[in-house]
Amino acid sequence: MYAVIKTGGKQYRVAAGEKIKVEQIAADVGQEIVIEQVLAVGNGAEIKIGTPLVSGAIVKATVLAHGLHDKVHIFKMRRRKHYQKRQGHRQQFTELLISSIAA
């Protein structure tokens, strides 16, 4: 059984027992959270698609850790203008363990 969830402006295909990294969620490590924005639920060849959400479907997950992704380097340059700008960014994430999917 799998589900397509929406969190942090992105969509993720998840199944029970998977670990995923999502945009940072304000929750403590070890806390169980409930994700109610479920867009689709599938079980084998059978799939239930919501309009836009599947009614009554929830995904339960446990917060494993918070952290920072790898650094992304931004470099801007204008040729012949003596302009160079360097910048870096590390996006925060929350690692989740999907415990169950209920449809």
**What is the pLDDT at residue 3?**
97
**What is the pLDDT at residue 103?**
85
Q: Domain range spanning residue 86?
A: 2-102
pLDDT under 50: residue ranges of the chain: none
Give the H/E segment covering residue 68.
strand 58-68
b/e per residue 62-101 (b: at least 16 CB within 10 A): bbeeeeeeeeeeeeeeeeeeeeeeeeeeeeebbbbbbeeb
Q: Domain tally for the chain?
A: 1
Q: Are 58 and 50 in contact (CB under 8 A)?
A: no
**What is the pLDDT at residue 85?**
98
Q: Which pTM does this prediction carry?
A: 0.86
